[in-house]
Each structure stands twice: as structure tokens, then as C-alpha cells.
Amino acid sequence: MKLWGGRFSKSTDSLVDDFNSSIRFDARMYRQDINGSVAHAIMLGKQGIIPPTDADLIVKTLGEILVDIENGKVEFSVDAEDIHMNIEKLLTERIGDVGKRLHTGRSRNDQVALDIRLYLRDECEKILIYLAELEATLTSLAEKNINVIMPGYTHLQKAQPILFSHHLMAYFEMFKRDISRLRECKARMNVSPLGSGALAGTTYPLDREFVANQLGMKGVTQNSLDGVADRDFAIEVCFVMSMIMVHMSRFSEEIILWSSNEFSFVELDDAYSTGSSIMPQKKNPDVAELARGKAGRVFGSLIALLTVMKGLPLAYNKDMQEDKEQVFDAIDTVIMTLPVFTKMLATMRVNGENMKRGAAGGFTNATDAADYLVKKGLPFRDAHEVIGKMVAYCLSNNKSIEELTLAEFKNCSTLFDEDVYTAISLENCVNLRDITGGTATNQVSIAIENAKAFINNL
């Protein structure tokens, strides 16, 4: 008989049991469920709600159940529906009526709300570690390639020369924001809903703050309805996972382009590439492609969870059981992707010569040529027009700007002089952008040092 079966005159259909059960996916929260129950039992004994000796026995037995689960000695039952009922069933089987006292002052509604908060808190901590490793890899790669010049793009058209290290540090900033978002999300979820009961609180004199403290939580929820009905934290986790995947996906797209023969900016290590079953020459960037593809899967979890929650009245509804598979899958995908993505980057070979060759084409120094004229006194819009006509002349004559003779320069504007060749060199184009956030070697060096300090403080 089910633990809630007193009101019913017949057993649920087996199809309903299968449909209703969540044990196949919420079993992963066994540790959090037991930890929450231990804290609850200690509090019940402390408050005199149940005999302290009963509380001690419950705590002891829950510890034994935890060990048995981790040693593979426990088989969960679909009939018991979920991890919470399975643990309580095991407890009652072992210590009888004393085990039945554990649920005093508690509902599955506030119990599951606690468990998922605890579980997501732990998983967020793992992801923070993976993000820190990725940030360290980006910083190291940038430092090793501090002076490599590459073309920067807008609209995927060559725009201006930049440092490859500057490009890498742009992704450092993206993942740094992800770390900040994840920390804030973790802090917001780290409050205990236990004591909210089914929806209205409880008549027992629970010490909610004591339980929260026992679990390392920073406070308790302030409204019992919200305590059991809130899944903002799960949606927020899915959003943060989605942002992490957006950033990995954007970077993956560039790596896929850079590793193509047309670019040849980087070569991925053999251990992080795959081949073709029919074309023996192929070396495919499958890690990057899968990271790009899995982003859509995580976005789907976010949209699914938003859709589940958007029309639910207060307080708990069974629809909310759908939260776990979505947020679990989003987290699992990120945890699977981050380490392999990081190692792919760490082992990637950078072809600096090809990058610089790429920066030398496509008139990436055209803006600097215009800036040269501006510094000679010409208004920027007029300088822009002069250089635009110069580029048209170069295209007609199959020349780059730096290949023009001084006479050709002067035909475009008498303001040009011999020093124009220094002004439009790639090194000069890069290093004169010595402004906070700029691509100059000096600024990138500062950014790398700041990045190291950030990583050390994580």
C-alpha cells in the first residue's frame, strides 16, 4: 500500500504508476534527500516534536541507507513513486514506526523543493570548477600567443588587425560573466523551503533556520506558497547553462572555420578530431561541432521549463515534476561538454604565420590610413572618402595599401608622406590601440594579468 493510500479504495493502475513515477530520474537526488531528512530529524528531536532517541535512530539509519545506496545494495521501487518515498519506505522497513515519524511537519512539496535546490547547488559548484579550468586554459593560450596578429572580422568580413590573444580574452570575458551569473544563481537558490509544508506552513514549532544552517543554506523562504511553487531557480540554472553553451557554440563556430583549409589558422590535435569512413584525408572538428550542436539541446530545456511553469496557479502542481528532467539534462550536457572543449583548446596548434598573412589581406589597415590623415588635420569623413577611393584604386590595380608607392599615396592626398608606411604596418595598427580594452600588446598583457588574479580568487 502506498504511503498516501489511506483515502483510496483501490490501487492505482500500473500504467498510472509508470506515468506518475519520477524515480527513474530523481533517484540521482538520493544524497540531497537523505541530507535534508537528517537535518529535519535532528531539528524534530531538538524541538521535542519527536523523542530525541527516535531522532537519533532515524539519523543513524539514514546514514546506513546512504552507504547501502552508494555501495549498490539498494534497488529503488517504481511503486514508491519518487526518491523521497523510496527513502522513507526503506527507513520504515528498517526501523518500523519510528521511521514513520520522520515526515512530521513536512510535505513532499517542500521536501522536493529542498532536494532540487540542494542538488542544483552542488552541480553548480562542479560547473564553476570546470569554468575556472576553461578560463585558465584561455589565459595560458593567450599568454603563449601574446604577439600573434590575426584579422578581426565584422560581418565575417576582414575588418582590422587584432591580436589573437585579444580574441581569446574576449571569450574569457564571456565565461567570466557566466561564472558571475552562476554564482548569483547559486546564492539565490541557497535558501530552504522546508517548513512550507504542502502550501500553508505547519502547526508544529519547527526551527526552519536551524535546518537551513545545518544544510549550509543562507536563510529560509519567506512565503509558504512561494516556497513550494517556486521554480525560478531551476529556470535560472537552465538560462545560465544556455548562456555557457552560447559562448562555447560561438567559439566552436570560429574554431571550425579556423581549422578549415581556407583559413588554416589552427590545427586541432588528433586526439580531439575524427576522420571519415570514406575520405582518408579528412580531419573533422567533431568536438567543436558537437559543442555547437548541443547548445540547441540546452536551449530546448530552458524553453520547455518556461513553458511548463508559465500557466501554473499556486501552489504545487504535478506539472512541476517535469522540471527535473529538463534542468538535469541541461546540467549534464554542460558538464559533459566543458571538459572536452577545454582540452580541445589546450591542445590546439596555432598557425601564427597564416593568421598574420590573413591580417595582411583585405585592407585591414584602411582605418589606420584614414586615422593617419585625420592626425594630419583632415576631417574624418573626408579622410574616410579618400581611403575608400584608395581601396577602389588598389582593387583595380591588384595591390594592397602598403604596396602603393609614395607617388600613388600622394595622388590620393598630398598629406601622405614617408611615415605612412610605418603608420599602416600591422604591428603599428595593433599596438597604437593602447586604450583600456584595446588590442594593443600592452593592454592584452594587463588583461591577462587581471585574468590570472580573477582565477586565483575563484
Q: What band does 21 get if pLDDT is binned at 50, 70 and 90?
A: confident
Are the beta carbons of 255 and 267 closer than 8 angstroms?
Answer: no
Q: How far apart are the first and last CA of the chain?
A: 50
Q: Is the pLDDT of residue 138 over 70?
A: yes
Of the two residues 20 and 188, the one the predictor is more confident about is 188
Mean pLDDT value across the chain = 95
For the chain, which residues make up each domain, given as ranges? Answer: 5-104, 109-357, 366-424
CATH topology of domain 366-424: Ribonucleotide Reductase Protein R1; domain 1 (1.10.40)
pLDDT of residue 79: 87
- Identify the CATH class of 109-357: mainly alpha
Q: Is the pLDDT of residue 428 over 60?
A: yes
Please check whether the two domains, 109-357 and 366-424, share a CATH topology: no
Q: What average pLDDT does range 22-35 have in this prediction?
A: 95
Q: Which pTM value belongs to this model? A: 0.93
The Cα 254–Cα 355 span in angstroms is: 13
Contacts of residue 169, Cβ cutoff 8 Å, sequence gap at least 6 = 138, 139, 142, 444, 447, 448, 451
How distant, in Å, are the alpha carbons of 24, 320, 360 from that of 91? 20, 26, 72
Helix intervals (H) in 230-379: 232-258, 286-309, 323-346, 352-360, 366-375
Helix intervals (H) in 259-322: 286-309
Contacts of residue 148, Cβ cutoff 8 Å, sequence gap at least 6 = 163, 164, 165, 350, 352, 355, 356
The amino acid sitting at 11 is S
The Cα 285–Cα 287 span in angstroms is: 6
pLDDT of residue 204: 98
Are the beta carbons of 452 and 137 closer than 8 angstroms?
Answer: no
Contacts of residue 415, Cβ cutoff 8 Å, sequence gap at least 6 = 373, 376, 377, 378
Angle CA 187–182–452, to nearest 5? 115
Reported as a single tens digit per residue, the pLDDT across 74-132 is 999 988 889 999 999 999 999 999 999 999 999 999 999 999 999 999 999 999 999 99
What architecture is the 5-104 domain classified under in CATH?
Orthogonal Bundle (1.10)
The Cα 97–Cα 349 span in angstroms is: 65
Q: What band does 7 get if pLDDT is binned at 50, 70 and 90?
A: low
Q: Is the pLDDT of residue 20 over 90?
A: no
Pull the grid cell for residue 183.
Answer: 554564482
Pull the grid cell for residue 71.
Answer: 555501495
For 153, the enclosing helix (H) or strand (E) is strand 149-154
Are the beta carbons of 31 and 66 closer than 8 angstroms?
Answer: yes
Reported as a single tens digit per residue, the pLDDT across 289-345 is 999 999 999 999 999 999 999 999 999 999 999 999 999 999 999 999 999 999 999
Q: What band does 237 get if pLDDT is binned at 50, 70 and 90?
A: very high
pLDDT of residue 117: 98
The Cα 458–Cα 128 span in angstroms is: 9
Q: Is the pLDDT of residue 5 over 70?
A: no
Q: Is the pLDDT of residue 409 over 80?
A: yes
Percent of the chain with pLDDT over 70: 96
The Cα 39–Cα 417 span in angstroms is: 79
Q: What average pLDDT does range 267-272 have in this prediction?
A: 96
Q: What is the set of active-site residues?
A: 155, 276
